[in-house]
């Protein structure tokens, strides 16, 4: 029996959605474009985090088991990889090449520290959220500033997607639920996040196709 069916099903839905978006972007014709690769990593990491997170919520919720610890560690590390991708996407669309290199190196070092913390026992979901918050804010600001400067529609769509991410997180923290069993606050978070990912995919495809021309 699934412990939290609504959370598990919506998590698996996010995994399928993100994985499909990653595959579509990977098939884009300009295979040498670094921005495309970071978007692919963003969606792949989100897919893995959703898959393992949903499996934990549905089937391996006993925190004393080895399976739980392995799956939950993978979930947290995948979120860390999504944060790495967010830093690099924001830097590449907003900053100079030199500044982007520095941001990328710092983000890799930060990920290494975060992964070390996870392996040393920092298993709270709040740790992953705190780690993800700065790059999420940075990416939102990068999209907004780029749109103000260039009126690039892809940047506006990306900003909308990131804003929905914060709306989803706010709804989750407040505890907004549409049904006490079939659509709890965590499932509502996933539904809103699914819309956010759709907008991020539109943003990614817009940027990649524009740079490929």
Full residue range of the structural domain in which residue 20 is found: 5-212
pLDDT at position 58, please?
85
Q: Which residue would you say has higher pLDDT here, 55 or 60? A: 55
- For residues 118 and 76, is the Cβ–Cβ distance under 8 A? yes
Task: Give 23-34 pLDDT, tens digit per residue.
Answer: 999 987 665 578
The dihedral of CA 187, 192, 193, 197: what is its sign?
positive
CB-hemisphere CA count at 13 Å for 197?
Answer: 26
200 compared with 2, residue with greater pLDDT: 200
Average pLDDT over residues 7-24: 96
Q: Supply the CATH number for residue 57's domain.
A: 1.20.1070
The pLDDT assigned to 211 comes to 66
Q: What is the pLDDT of residue 124?
A: 85
Cα–Cα distances in Å, from 154 out to 95, 134, 177, 195?
17, 21, 31, 16
What's the pTM?
A: 0.94
Give the whole-number percent of the chain exceeding pLDDT 90. 72
Interatomic CA distance for residues 39 and 147, integer angstroms: 18
* 125 vs 165: which has the higher pLDDT: 165
pLDDT tens digit string along 72-128?
999 999 999 999 999 999 999 999 999 999 999 999 999 999 999 999 988 888 889
pLDDT score of 125: 83
Number of domains in the chain: 1
* DSSP track, 100-141: HHHHHHHHHHHHHHHHHHHHTT---HHHHHHHHHHHHHHHHH
For the chain, what percentages of helix, strand and coil (3-state, to nearest 5) are there? 85, 0, 15
């Amino acid at each position: 029996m699934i412990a939290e069916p609504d959370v598990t099903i919506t998590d698996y839905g996010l995994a399928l959605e993100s994985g499909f978006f990653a595959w579509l972007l990977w098939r884009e014709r300009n295979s040498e474009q670094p921005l495309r690769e970071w978007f692919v990593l963003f969606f792949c990491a989100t897919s893995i985090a959703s898959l393992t997170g949903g499996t934990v919520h549905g089937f391996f919720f006993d925190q004393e088991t080895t399976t739980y610890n392995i799956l939950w560690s993978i979930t947290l590390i995948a979120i860390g990889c999504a944060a790495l991708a967010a830093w690099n996407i924001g830097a590449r669309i907003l900053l100079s090449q030199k500044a982007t290199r520095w941001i990328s190196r710092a983000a890799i070092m930060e990920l290494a520290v975060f992964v070390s913390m996870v392996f040393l026992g920092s298993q709270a979901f709040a740790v992953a959220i705190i780690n993800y918050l700065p790059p999420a804010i940075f990416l939102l600001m990068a999209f907004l500033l780029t749109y103000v400067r260039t009126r690039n529609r892809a940047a506006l769509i990306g900003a909308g997607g990131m804003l929905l991410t914060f709306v989803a997180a706010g709804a989750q923290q407040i505890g907004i639920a549409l049904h006490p069993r079939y659509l709890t606050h965590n499932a509502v978070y996933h539904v809103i996040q699914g819309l956010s990912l759709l907008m991020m995919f539109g943003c990614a495809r817009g940027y990649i196709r524009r740079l490929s021309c």
